[in-house]
Structures are given as C-alpha cells and as structure tokens.
Chain A
Amino acid sequence: MSIALIKKNISEIDFHHYGWVIVAVGAIAQMIGSAIRMAFGIIIDPLVEEFSWDPKSIGIAYAIMSVVTAISSPIAGYCSTMIGARKTMYIGLFLFLIGMIWTALATNIYEFYISYGIIFGFAQSMFLVPVIPAIAIWFKKSLGLATGLIIGMWSLGPAIVIQLMGIMLNSIGWQNTFIISGLVGSVIMFIALAFFKNTPQDMGLLPYGAEDSDKQEEIKHEKPINNYYSNLQKIVYGTNAFWSLMNIHFLGCVGHAVILIGLVPLMITKGISYTDSVLCLTIIMVVSISTRFITPILGDSVNPKTIMFLSFLGQGLFVIPWAFTTDKWMFYLVGILWAIPYGGEGTLFPIMNRKYYGFFRMDTTYGWQILAASFGMALGGFIPGLVFEVTGGYVYAIWISAFFSCLGACVILTLETTKRVIRPSFENLG
C-alpha cells in the first residue's frame, strides 16, 4: 500500500516547478552543514598527534559546538523569518569558511574551541535551520516528498563528504584538507545560493500545488511585516502542540543518540569484533536513508501523527532485544528492524507543523524544535559513557533509550488530531 502510494505521489509531480531547484540547493546546504558535525571524528587523531591534546579536551569542542548549535537554532529561525532564508544561509556560509580556515590554523586548544565550537556551532544552525521552513513556503502540496529528499541528505551527504575528506586527509594532511574543503564547499554553496529564492513571490510564482485562487491570499502576505510574524508566532507558542512537538523531538533524539553512541561499545562488550560492530552501525545508517525519504511522503499522504507514533514506538521497542542477545546476526537483524522507525522518527516535524498551523512561515517554530533535538542528542550522547562508568556495561543504556522513545510515543498520543488546522485570522494580526 505504501509503495503504491509513493509511486502515485511521484508520478503526479511536476518537476518543472522552480521549487525543485530550491530542494536541490537545500540538499547541498544540508550536505555541507551536516558534514561539519560528522567530520569531527576524523580530525581527533591528527590533533592528538600534532598538538598532544588529549581526546577528552578535543571532545569538549564537539560539546561546545552542539550546545552553540542548539542555543542559536531559534536565533537562526528568527533571522530567517526577518531577513529571509537566503541571507541567513549566506551568514552561515561566511561563518563556515572562517571556521574551516581558522580550525586548520589553530595552534592552541582555546583557539580550537572558538573556531570549531563557537563559529561552527553558529554556522551549522544558520545552514540547517532555514532550509526546511523555506521548502515549506515553496510547497503547498508534496511537502513530504520535498522534505524527504532533503532529510535523506542528512545521512547520505556526510557519508560521501567524510569519505572524500578521509582520502584527502591521508594524502595532503588535515590542515590542507580543512582549508581546501572549506574553500570548495564555500564556492559550491555560493553558486548554489545564487539560485535560491526565499519565496515563490520573489520570482512571481505561486508555491508548488497552489491554485490561482490562492494568489490573492499570497499577495496579501508577501511583505514580511514584523508585527504580523511576531503575532502569528505568539499564537503558535500558545498551543499545546508547539510544546509537545519540542518535547517529542527531545525524547526521540535522546532515544536514538544513546544507540548511535553506545551500540558499537555494547557489541564489543558482548564479545563481537570492532569491525563487525561498526558494520552493524553502517547497516543502520544505510537502511535509515530509505525511511528518511519515505516517511515524510507517507506522513503527508496518510496521517503523520499515527506514523510518528509507530516510529517512536518501534524505536523504543526494537532496541530491547539488544539488551539480551550476544549473537552478531541477531544484532544485525535487530539493527535492520530498528533502522526503519529510527529513520522515520525525526522527519515528520515539518509535516506536523504544516498540519497544525497551515501554510505559514515555520522558521522560528522549527528553530525551537531543533534546539530541543540538539539538547536531546547531547544528553543521549552522554548517557552511554556515564552508564558504562557505573555498571561496566551498556545494558542499562539500552533500557534508558527504550524508556525515552516510548515516553515520546506516549506524548504523541496526547497530541490533538492533525485533521484540523489552526488558521489564524490574518486580518487581525497586523
């Protein structure tokens, strides 16, 4: 049923609309933005070797970056609403270039904290937050497919970029790798952003899927009036859905961050080799790419609340066999099963925003959701290490992951139906 639904969805798409160019630019931005975070792992050893910094001190830079990204996400969302996604992403691009070059030239750990932790932290939020809300403005229909294509890049992008950076690192050293990657990434992004337009109105177009009858309404709201947006945002803050969606994003991210950080060490403590353990994580990443793409399409066409509930429940329940098994193949099998709900779990938030609040600028709302998600990732990343220090194993971490994901599923059940939309009276918002 779901495959037929997806085929039907794709066959009805008009790919000549300019919105798909915006999707392509958004996908490139996601690739570069998410690669910043993922590239960290490959520079730890070179830094230890060159400066004799200990891995724990280097890890603090990653923690600073995560916190700065979290805190600056609502700011990035607000900037995107007020000055537009394009200018916000240009700021992100400028910070990305400065961060890449400064990180390569850093000579002491505090410089590294500023260049990687603070500058990259800001760059990442300025890159990542405005993309999805901008897509939501360009797509009145088929938002699921558009977001699915971009969110799929969260997994695929870093996988490609890290491979390339790994090869470069071996041949030209980590400093040159950072400088060259920074320059090449900036040039690609600079060219891509030249094709990026904040709204369809900037090109005299209607959003994808909008009817001519929608034109009057679009024209009425084309000027970004500050009062209008702040009043609209106040309405969003006053809904249970806003707080619950932030909460759900937080819980889901704790649930999967525990697994992503703790699975390999868990398998090793159960006597499975490092290579086989890493293979299990790779299988999860590969399988999750497909569900990252498919879930928003399904959610857009069917009922996002139900799909989100099933994803959270699956993410919570499928981890439990890992607490008992010691068999490698069982780890792989459960890994495949777990990757399906894990891939879909975080991809439905733009669809839920659309269902609850209608066709509106979701930049600030989405920024708050990313803040909650980032704190969830930070907490989830911290738990396995703490649990191991106390118990000498990771089994408790598995139960904690299951608890957080299932709690997220319970909170989803308290959400209102997605069949009715808040449609504020725009005339009263000036």
Chain B
Amino acid sequence: MKIDTIPSKGISLSLFSIIASSVILIYFSAWNSTNKLNENSNYETSWIQDGSVFLCPLH
C-alpha cells in the first residue's frame, strides 16, 4: 500500500460525502420552509430556514 504525501483520493471522497449530506439537508430544509411559508405567509423563519431556501436552487 502506498503512503501518499497528500491522500487526495481519500480526502476528495470524504468531501464528496460532506457535500452530498449538505445537499440533502439543504433540499429538505428548504422544502420544509417553503411549505410553512405557503401555509402561513406570516410564518417567521429562522436563519437556518432562510439560509436553506437561499442556497437551494429548487425552492
């Protein structure tokens, strides 16, 4: 087994997993926020909900 100076494959795959997890969380959080806003326009969103709607291109 090779000892790499920078273990690029391992680190990139880990980053991919972190990004995939974030995408899923952002997508569902944004979906949740828009649902609540559609039901009640006076609904006060938290900064997390605002952030997820801002980041999600589908909501």
Contacts and interface: CB of A to CB of B under 8 A. Distances in A.
Contacts, number: 70
B36 to A, nearest CB: 9
Given A400-B24, A416-B2, A421-B1, A238 B17 contact: no
A251 interface: yes
Given A400-B24, A407-B20, A414-B9, A356 B1 contact: yes
Given A238-B3, A238-B4, A254 B13 contact: no
Contacts of A407: 17, 20
Interface of chain A: mostly helix, strand, loop or mixed: helix
Contacts of B17: 247, 250-251, 407, 411
Contact of A243 (B14, B24, B31, B32): B14
A254 to B, nearest CB: 7
Interface residues of B, number: 23
Contacts of B25: 379, 386
Interface string B40-57: 000000000000000000
A240 B5 CA distance: 10
Given A254-B21, A386-B28, A386-B29, A422 B3 contact: yes
Contact of B13 (A247, A400, A403): A247
Contact of B10 (A244, A250, A383, A400): A244
A239 B7 CA distance: 5
A244 B3 contact: no
B31 A247 contact: no
Interface in A384-406: 386-387, 389-390, 396, 400, 403
A16 interface: no
Contacts of B5: 238
A225 interface: no
Contacts of B3: 235, 238-239, 422
B11 interface: yes
Contacts of A411: 13, 17
Interface bin, chain A: 20 to 34
A244 B14 contact: yes
Nearest to B35: A390
A104 B23 CA distance: 40
Contacts of A416: 1-2
Given A247-B14, A390-B31, 18 more contacts: A237-B7, A238-B4, A240-B7, A241-B10, A244-B14, A246-B14, A247-B17, A386-B25, A390-B32, A400-B24, A403-B20, A407-B20, A411-B13, A416-B1, A416-B2, A420-B1, A421-B1, A422-B1
30 contacts: A238-B3, A238-B5, A238-B6, A238-B7, A239-B1, A239-B4, A239-B7, A241-B1, A242-B7, A244-B10, A244-B13, A246-B14, A247-B13, A247-B17, A251-B17, A356-B1, A379-B21, A383-B24, A386-B25, A386-B29, A387-B28, A390-B28, A390-B31, A390-B32, A396-B28, A400-B24, A414-B9, A416-B1, A422-B1, A422-B3
